Amino acid sequence: MTAAEVEVTGAVTERLFGALLGAIELATVHLGVRLGLYDALATPRTAAGLAQAAGIDERYAREWLEQQAISGLVSVVEPGDGDSRVYGLDPEQAASFGDPDSPAYVGSMALVMGGVGQVLPLLPEVYRTGSGIPFGGYGDDVRFGQALFNRGGFLGQLTQEWVPALPGVAALLSRPGARALDLGCGVGWSSVALATAHPALEVLGIDSDDASVMDARANAEAHGVADRARFEVADADTPLAEAAYDVAFYFEALHDMAHPVAALASARAALRPGGRVVVLDENVLDAFTPNGPEVERLMYASSVLHCLPVGLSEPDSAGTGAMMRPDVLRGYAAAAGFTSVDEADVTDGAFRCWVLTP
């Protein structure tokens, strides 16, 4: 092996070692989130205090706390031995693990990884056969994690920043008798945000995952909009009431749908005159680019492990995956009867947004 080959191999090994370290530490964060350990550390505690507060074994509490402190994820508030040492969260750690509505909250990342870990043993056979894994097959972790990942943006930016950047959409949502569709609504935070910001708006959220729809109904009830934000279990390409809605939204959902053209055609038929379809999806590059930026790497890895298997879990799937580049979306939109696809000026690192006109 030449010196150049050794140098290249070393770079790859170093990178993957870092990835392994990050993945293992993320798994320990998963434990902390699922067991409520970070919540309990809002008050500084010893290992025994954490065990009592969180209802876990004291020996495990000590091991987890020491690992977290060595990793810089929790802080030592008062030094001492293993029994007397007191742990807590500094301001940055509290922001990262404390408030699920905060843009800094990172617990969602650990939950999503937990769900992916649940299906890893199934993926080799899925890849051999060309079959898929439905969204519900990833368990509660992916549902909870994805909901938390998007919650801050939907409640804090959707109606405040994103909708105003969509030409004519805010006016459609505010006109008398306005109705909106939220297709692939998940646990309903986008529907809740829309209904909260527009007091006369009725929103119908549709998702094929029963557990997500149950969560959406509970979230709407908790936010006082259950009378105007309703949710149903159905496939996104199910025929809808024609000419009944002003705007149809797909929030990070269209790329997961097995039949995107049929879904868009159903949404188009459901629009009233002058209505629009809004597609907010992953922030991917316009074209395949080797050695891409970190966001592109994240989206593609997510597609390999989750988005494509979910899309291929239904017969005759388009198999889009997370990398729904603009030319792919435009092709789907044209086939569904839309005459224009215009990218909107939505400034967000995770998403790109398009307005589709029939």
Q: Rounded distance, CA 30 to CA 34, Å?
A: 6
What is the end-to-end Cα distance of the chain in Å, rounded?
60
Q: At 6, is the pLDDT very low, low, confident or very high (cuts 50, 70, 90)?
A: low
pLDDT at residue number 2: 65
> 60-92 pLDDT, tens per residue?
999 999 999 999 999 999 999 999 999 999 999
Work out the average pLDDT over 253-264.
Answer: 97
Contact assessment for residue 111 and residue 37, using Cβ atoms and an 8 Å cutoff: no
Q: What is the CATH number of domain 149-357?
A: 3.40.50.150
Asked if the model's pLDDT at residue 7 lies above 70, the reply is no
pTM of the complete model beyond 0.85: yes
**Cα–Cα distance between 207 and 235 in angstroms, integer?**
6
Residues with Cβ within 8 Å of 10's Cβ and at least 6 positions away in sequence, in order, are none
Domain boundaries, the chain: 3-98, 149-357
Give the H/E segment covering residue 203: strand 202-207
Residues 136-177 have pLDDT tens digits of 999 999 999 999 888 988 998 999 999 999 999 999 999 999
Q: What pLDDT does 336 receive?
A: 98
Taking CA atoms, 257 is separated from 235, 308, 319, in Å, by 9, 10, 8
Contact 284, 299 (CB under 8 A): yes
- pLDDT score, position 289: 93
The 10s digit of each residue's pLDDT in 178-230 is 999 999 999 999 999 999 999 999 999 999 999 999 999 999 999 999 999 99
Q: How far is CA 284 from CA 69, 298, 321, 337, 353, in A?
A: 36, 10, 11, 24, 11
| Integer Cα distance of 19 and 190 in angstroms | 32
The percentage of residues in the chain with a pLDDT greater than 90, rounded to a whole number, is: 87
Residue 250 backbone dihedrals phi, psi, to 5 degrees: -120, 105
Question: Hey, what CATH topology would domain 3-98 get?
Answer: Arc Repressor Mutant, subunit A (1.10.10)
Mean pLDDT of the 130-138 span: 96
